[in-house]
Amino acid sequence: MALLPILQYPDPRLHIVAAPVTRFDEELQRLVRDMAETMYAAPGVGLSATQVDVHRQVIVIDVSDGRDALQVFINPVLLEGWGESGLEEGCLSVPGVYDQVPRYERVRIEARDARGERFELEVDGLMSVCVQHEMDHLKGRVFVEYLSRLKQTRIASRMRKQQRRAG
């Protein structure tokens, strides 16, 4: 297994639109294992393939307290959404920034698992917000892009400064 580097905002590769997965092969299983290891190590509750510079529709999520309930979403599709969530979110590509953005409180999702089996799932709370956040990553959208222009400019310049300091 391997820890993968996570792209940091405002890296332009975070805006690449991910392509659907067509082969559920050993290479995909390795990507899923490496993404899970990277998410747990970060630590985070979710991770999209876009964030590790792989532009395929792959998401891993674990919002459980025990960190032992990994969920894999390949080629996810939002079927329906209800209500408004009031949860703040964070992002491993924008460390230190937490804010609330428009999200459904409850969603119904269709996706495939790592073996290619189709499933449907209805989720709410953090799981719902996390799925929507990760699906945005696959479309090349970072959550801070819902915030005001002023906030985005400040966040981008703070991130660039941190990245220069880190070399």
Q: Distance between CA atoms of 113 and 96, rounded to whole angstroms?
A: 31
Residue position matching structure tokens 């590790």:
52
Q: Which of 102, 157, 95 is nearest to 132 (CA)?
A: 102
> Which residue, 33 or 141, has its beta carbon nearer to ligand K1U?
141
Q: Based on the shown chain and the rule CB under 6 A, indicate whether residue 10 belongs to the binding site for ligand K1U.
A: no
Residues forming the active site: 134
Token pair recorded at residue 8: 């940091």
Q: Which of 76, 92, 72, 78 is nearest to 28 (CA)?
A: 72
Residue position matching structure tokens 């209500």:
83
Site string for ligand K1U, 123-142 (x = CB under 6 A): ------xx--xx--------
Q: Which stretch binds Zn ion (CB under 5 A): 27-35, 65-73, 85-93, 105-113?
A: 85-93
Q: Which stretch binds Zn ion (CB under 5 A): 71-79, 86-94, 95-103, 104-112?
A: 86-94
Q: Based on the shown chain and the rule CB under 6 A, indicate whether residue 93 belongs to the binding site for ligand K1U.
A: yes
**Residue 45 interacts with, from Zn ion, ligand K1U, none (CB under 5-8 Å by kind):** ligand K1U
- Sign of the torsion formed by the C-alpha atoms of 27, 28, 30 and 34: positive
- Quick one: which of 37, 53, 90, 145 contacts ligand K1U (CB under 6 A)? 90
**Residue 43 interacts with, from ligand K1U, Zn ion, none (CB under 5-8 Å by kind):** ligand K1U
- Quick one: which of 32, 91, 114, 135 contacts ligand K1U (CB under 6 A)? 91
Query: What is the H or E stretch that residue 111 is in?
Result: strand 106-112
The residue type found at 110 is: E
Residue position matching structure tokens 């990553």:
137
Q: Enumerate binding residues for ligand K1U (CB under 6 A).
A: 43-48, 89-93, 129-130, 133-134
